[in-house]
A and B are shown apart, each in its own frame.
Chain A
Amino acid sequence: MKEINGVQIDEKKAQRLLQKLIMMEKKNLMSKQFGDPEMVKKIKKMIEEEVECF
């Protein structure tokens, strides 16, 4: 477990998030469906859902 700013990071979760993030970016680069602010919102939502999920 890695610690950032006093928070323990579940690396499995974080790696899953990374895979999802790259896929999401890749998909959006192809479709150009979302602008930057929307993508930031989507990434935040993705992180929050993954972190909350056990």
Chain B
Amino acid sequence: MLLKSLKMINFRQFINEEIDFAADSERNVTVIMGENGAGKTTISQAFSWCLYGDTDFDDKLMLNKIVASQMIPNEEKTVKVQLDLIHSGIEYTIITEQNYKKEFSNKLKPNNVIRNIAYKNNGQQDYIKPLEIDLTIKQILPKELSRYFFFDGERIGNMSKEIKKGKSQTFALAVRGLLGLSAFISALEHLKPTSKYGVIGSYNESYDSRSNSTIATYTKTIDECQDELDRIEVRLSEIDNEIVLATDRCEELTEKIKELADGERLQKEKEALQKKLLATKASKKNALESMLKQFSSHAPSYFSKSLVKKSLEILSEADLIGKDIPEMHAKTIDFLIKKGECICGNKIEAGNEAYQKLVDLIKYLPPQSIGVIAGGFVKEAEIRTKASSDLFEATSKSFALLQEQDDTILEFTKDIKLIEEKLLTFTGAGRYQQELQLCEKTIRDRTSENNTLRQKKGAIEFKKGQAEAERGKLTLLDQTNRKIEVYKAYAQYMYDELQSVYSENETKIREKLEKTINDIFKDIYNGGMSLSIDDKYNIQVIVDDFEDFNTDVETSTAQSISVIFAFISGIIKLARESREADDADAKLLASEPYPLVMDAPLSAFDKRRIKTVCDALPKVAEQVIIFIKDTDGEIAEEHMGAKVGKRYVFDKKNEFETKLV
């Protein structure tokens, strides 16, 4: 398939644009440059929409937004993408259209996507029948392979995973087709002995039983056996699928249940944390109480220290100490004054010197007794000052401890919350367990059914073989039937031979493809790795220097993109070599040329690899169409300039309209 042109009408931001692609052998590169959001991906998706009626866009409305906004109720507009291409020497025009109608509610109603394929046959234009459109597209480029030829550099991660594992048999079949094995596949399908409609099957149906009615009986037995074998084959294939699905589901469920075991562990962890949290909270409460108790008992003394100090200074200045008489009470003085005579015999009369001295002495004796009170105060002050001297340090320590406990509580609370969030995802363990048991039962049942069916199949094949042998003996006796038997024998010989040649060629081609892919891969990515291809065309990346480490390795973006480039280029190169081969056998395997349509392919590469890729691709592929950012444009021009046959630049008018200039 080589692309000639692409016409887009009302397709997303392209209202009416057409691109002619370079298909010249000397200048086979078409470069389409544009800033981000201008429509590079839209054009690459236009191929997908035209060929398969679908795109990777989340918004499935393809109608241009400006056109849509200008539509009046009941008005209809059409989105159309037309792709002109050449495949197997035939010119095809694939037209994909979709009508949109504006409803009175102002909503757009899209109709079904309609595809039509016109082709030129001996100069005459003809149309592919509607029922054969899908088949024709499949023959031109199977959807399974399209993403490798219509290549999106920004979605490389997924492609890399797909290319390495999980591809269907359809993919392997499609690759075999590209590698030129389609003729073998078709021939085997047409000869197929197990189909009534194949060559061998139809010979079986055409025996003349008029000469011997036993022939008809054997044919009936063989047909019945074949019908039963067909049913068994269908069932065996269903069983295989069911076992694969159930096994996959078992793996998923086991993983989930394993996660749930993690959930149990988390639950225990949560409970332990909750216990620790409670203990820390209790400890904090005690510490707080103790701190407050200490504070409330010593804080007054501590904070009155400066006042006490001042009081003591005043007391020391007042010289109160020593002025009282120990054990003497004011009442003693009152008694002496009343008596009018001192214990020393002096007369005490109001106003005399003795009287005056005694009255002065009362101030210093109990109950007033300032000296005693002052002495008591000094003593008390000393005790209190001593007791509250470490209040600051003790309170600081207690406060630090409280802060520490607060931090611990916060940490535990956070951890518990995180665990609780995680635990939310660990629900339904019982349901998973039940489903797992069901899946395991399905696997056991299907495996048992598979074994039974295979035994039955063996018995039926034996019965069929016997009937065929018996019928063969009879048919050889009759001239007409003998002829049929001879033709059938030749057809059977051809089928057996073809199967052996196909298998041999397929293995050879796969080995050659592996070598070609490795040569290209090592050219692009020089990093001590190589690629291996299995019989389903899955690719594994192997590290060369570690012989024992032969399992697939996780690859970086640059490695992944190199693997895909190498894979696609390898297929294209082999196909091209077979077309250019001299010997007839190789020519028999010749397949189509294919273009490489690449959206943002260089963004994941460094400059050295961009150069390698730009040099390699136009040489390997017969047509290269490359969508590129402005910034990568110069590098591409620098390395592919001589090969560029057509060049377009996006002129972005606004968010909803881009023109190509």
B183 in contact with A26 (CB, 8 Å): yes
A44 in contact with B182 (CB, 8 Å): no
* Chain B residues with CB under 8 A of A17: 490, 494
* Chain B residues with CB under 8 A of A7: 476, 485-486, 489-490
* Bound-state Cα–Cα, A44 to B204, Å: 12
| Other-chain residue from A2, A30, A37 in contact with B493 (beta carbon distance below 8 A) | A2
Within 8 A of A (CB), among B462-509: 468-469, 472-473, 476, 485-494, 497-498, 501
Instruction: Tell me the dominant secondary structure on chain B's binding face.
Output: helix
* Chain B residues with CB under 8 A of A53: none
B497 in contact with A40 (CB, 8 Å): no
B588 at interface by CB-CB < 8 Å: yes
A29 in contact with B186 (CB, 8 Å): yes
* Bound-state Cα–Cα, A4 to B488, Å: 9
| Other-chain residue from A11, A13, A22, A51 in contact with B183 (beta carbon distance below 8 A) | A22
B531-567 CB contact bits vs A (8 Å, 1 = yes)?
0000000000000000000000000000000000000
* Bound-state Cα–Cα, A21 to B191, Å: 10
* Chain B residues with CB under 8 A of A25: 182-184, 186-187, 190
Instruction: Tell me the dominant secondary structure on chain A's binding face.
Output: helix
* Chain B residues with CB under 8 A of A37: 197
Smallest CB–CB gap between B120 and chain A, Å? 12
* Bound-state Cα–Cα, A50 to B90, Å: 31
B199 in contact with A43 (CB, 8 Å): yes
| Other-chain residue from B182, B473, B492 in contact with A4 (beta carbon distance below 8 A) | B492
B492 in contact with A5 (CB, 8 Å): yes
* Chain B residues with CB under 8 A of A21: 187, 494, 498
A contact residues, total (Cβ < 8 Å):
32
B485 in contact with A5 (CB, 8 Å): yes
Smallest CB–CB gap between A19 and chain B, Å? 8
* Chain B residues with CB under 8 A of A36: 189-190, 197
Within 8 A of A (CB), among B138-185: 139, 182-184
* Bound-state Cα–Cα, A2 to B182, Å: 28
B396 at interface by CB-CB < 8 Å: no
* Bound-state Cα–Cα, A30 to B190, Å: 17
Given A7-B485, A7-B489, A9-B490, CB of A40 within 8 Å of CB of B498: no
Which chain A residue lies CB-closest to B491?
A47
B136 at interface by CB-CB < 8 Å: yes
* Bound-state Cα–Cα, A15 to B472, Å: 24
Interface centre among B184, B186, B189 (most CB of A within 10 A): B186
B493 in contact with A4 (CB, 8 Å): yes
B312-323 CB contact bits vs A (8 Å, 1 = yes)?
000000000000
Smallest CB–CB gap between A39 and chain B, Å? 5
B286 at interface by CB-CB < 8 Å: no
* Chain A residues with CB under 8 A of B247: none
B498 in contact with A18 (CB, 8 Å): yes
Known interface pairs A7-B489, A22-B187; 17 further A-B residue pairs with C-beta atoms within 8 A, sorted by A's residue number: A4-B493, A5-B489, A6-B473, A9-B490, A14-B494, A17-B490, A21-B494, A22-B588, A25-B182, A29-B182, A31-B90, A32-B90, A36-B190, A36-B197, A47-B491, A48-B487, A51-B486
Which residues from chain B sit less than 8 Å from chain A, CB to CB? 88-90, 136, 139, 182-184, 186-187, 189-191, 197-199, 202-203, 468-469, 472-473, 476, 485-494, 497-498, 501, 588
